[in-house]
Amino acid sequence: MSNGEQLNLFQQPNSQPPTPAEVDIELIPTDAKVPIPPGSYKTMEVLAKQCQSCQRCELGATRINAVVGRGNLQAPIVVIGEGPGQNEDETGLPFVGKAGQLLEKILAAVKLDSEKDVYICNIVKCRPPGNRVPAAEEIAACKPYLLEQIRLIDPKIILLTGATAVKALTGDKRGISKIRGTWMEWEGCLCMPIFHPAYLLRNPSRDQGSPKWLMWQDIQAVRAKLDELIN
Ligand code: SF4
């Protein structure tokens, strides 16, 4: 009897040996008090799988889907929002409601393809009930996933949509109106705070100096910087 045949005798008919990814997940801390070490995830797939069963904070109890991200895993730009809303919770995809459609239009206006040039995700992966702002402890519990996403993608530019995203990633507590459109450096990566598309939906004016007009200035600056970095 060969070694392989002997081994088969000890396996249940349908049992498979654990894949490296499954072993990794078992070793990663699920308690929010225990930090997830950088480098824990070898692929976004493994990270996404863990998020679907994550209970590191209370948001895990009420979600339909954990909303991890969409877009190109090698994208030069990562867009980070605050958290999933109802549409996102139901579909498992970030920025798919009206704000997401506006984000697509803003990106397309400077020839950025949301499937090719961008990866889109949120600060917290599970929907805060009633679309409230995620609490500090929820942001802290979920942040290791975001940091790992950024590490895996290694973007040239990060766009932070709204003050919550800016504060959660960089610790900068200034209002978004004060800092939008300014480049800042975080962990060696260029970041730009921009208005959240949902804010633009509530402020439809296109007059000079309006939020939409300012967004147009900002996204053009992002396009120019990306061209400078990749050419
Ligand atoms: S929000 Fe993040 S930390 Fe909280 S349960 Fe969902 S995936 Fe886990």
Q: What is the pLDDT of residue 12?
A: 38
Nearest CA to ligand 1 atom 5: 60
- Name residue, tokens 């970041």: 191
- Percent of the chain at pLDDT exceeding 90: 84
Is position 21 within any domain? yes
Q: What is the mean pLDDT of residues 27-40?
A: 83
Report the helix count and the strand count for the chain, using DSSP H and E.
10, 6
Question: At residue 1, does pLDDT exceed 80?
Answer: no
In this prediction the pTM is 0.89
Q: What is the mean pLDDT of residues 162-187?
A: 97
* Residue 131, phi then psi, degrees to nearest 5: 60, 30
Q: What is the pLDDT of residue 28?
A: 74
Distance from the alpha carbon of residue 175 to the mean position of ligand 1, in angstroms: 25
Q: What is the pLDDT of residue 48?
A: 96
Is position 1 within any domain? no
What are 83's two structure tokens? 């958290």
Interhelix angle 163-170/136-153, rounded to 10 degrees, is 70
Q: What is the pLDDT of residue 35?
A: 84
Q: What is the mean pLDDT of residues 64-77?
A: 98
The region of weakest confidence among 23-37, 167-181, 203-217 is: 23-37
Total number of domains constituting the chain: 1
Is position 32 within any domain? yes
Q: What is the mean pLDDT of residues 142-155?
A: 97
Q: What is the pLDDT of residue 175?
A: 96
> Is residue 53 lining ligand 1, measured as CB closer than 6 Å?
no
Q: What is the pLDDT of residue 7?
A: 34
> Is residue 59 lining ligand 1, measured as CB closer than 6 Å?
yes
Is position 76 within any domain? yes
Q: What is the pLDDT of residue 43?
A: 95
* C-alpha–C-alpha distance, residues 47 and 53, integer Å: 10
Is position 18 within any domain? yes
Domain range for 214 is 12-230
Distance from the alpha carbon of residue 199 to the mean position of ligand 1, in angstroms: 25
Q: Which residues pair with 150 in a beta bridge?
A: none
Phi/psi region, residue 209 (left: phi>0; alpha: psi -120 to 50; beta: rest), is left
Question: At residue 162, does pLDDT exceed 50?
Answer: yes
* C-alpha–C-alpha distance, residues 83 and 123, integer Å: 6
Is position 6 within any domain? no
Which ligand 1 atom sits nearest the alpha carbon of residue 60?
5
Q: What is the pLDDT of residue 19?
A: 54
- State the chain's mean pLDDT as an integer: 90
CATH number at residue 210: 3.40.470.10
Is position 2 within any domain? no
Tell me which of 59, 65, 88, 123 to substitute to probe ligand 1's pocket, judged by most ligand atoms within 8 Å of the beta carbon. 59
* C-alpha–C-alpha distance, residues 194 and 180, integer Å: 5
